[in-house]
């Protein structure tokens, strides 16, 4: 006869089952906590974008307005205004690069930065000219590059659920 009688049931080691059950409970709790976090992430990312774009727009608006006044009569001042534009746009692009975007707007952020880099490159060409006439001769190319930036901004803002920009660049 065996050491175990029919009345005694074998005892099981439930440690493994408890570990699996606890792991499942912890995973379920984490998923429940993640839902509100991710539900608010698009609003949070849109807020991060506007926190970067707002100040850049204010600075650029002043620089663009100053350039418009100086491009006709003062080469040194116009170049200073353009240099300020380059600094503001570069700062915007650098700050934009620190934001982790979800999959939909992420490629558009890269495209915006690329379009902005082309605009910056043209403005840097303007900084190298020696006359107001040559400076103004590049304006149409800069305006075309600005239109490309505007198109990317519209896409980017739509991806983030933001209204179209009114009066600013970003």
pTM of the model: 0.75
Domain assignments of the chain as residue spans, ordered by start? 42-159
Q: Splitting the chain (170 residues) into consecutive groups of 10 residues, what average pLDDT does each group show?
A: 54 72 77 60 87 93 95 96 97 93 85 96 97 96 96 92 83
Question: What pLDDT is attached to residue 10?
Answer: 57
For residues 32 and 162, what is the distance between their CA atoms, to the nearest angstrom? 27
For residues 56 and 41, what is the distance between their CA atoms, to the nearest angstrom? 23
In angstroms, the Cα distances linking 118 to 3, 28, 150 are 85, 48, 13
């Amino acid at each position: 006869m065996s050491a175990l009688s029919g009345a005694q049931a074998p005892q099981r080691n439930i440690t493994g089952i408890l570990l699996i059950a606890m792991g499942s409970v912890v995973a379920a709790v984490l998923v429940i906590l993640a839902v509100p976090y991710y539900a608010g992430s698009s609003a949070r990312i849109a807020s991060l974008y506007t926190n970067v774009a707002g100040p850049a727009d204010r600075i650029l608006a002043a620089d663009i307005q100053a350039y418009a006044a100086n491009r006709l009569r003062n080469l040194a001042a116009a170049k200073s205004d353009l240099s300020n534009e380059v600094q503001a746009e570069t700062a915007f692009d650098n700050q934009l690069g620190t934001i982790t975007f979800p999959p939909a707007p992420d490629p558009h952020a890269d495209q915006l930065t690329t379009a902005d880099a082309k605009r910056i490159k043209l403005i840097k060409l303007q900084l190298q000219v020696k006359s107001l006439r040559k400076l103004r001769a590049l304006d149409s190319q800069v305006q075309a590059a600005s239109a490309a930036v505007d198109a990317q901004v519209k896409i980017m803002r739509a991806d983030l659920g933001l209204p179209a920009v009114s009066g600013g660049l970003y």
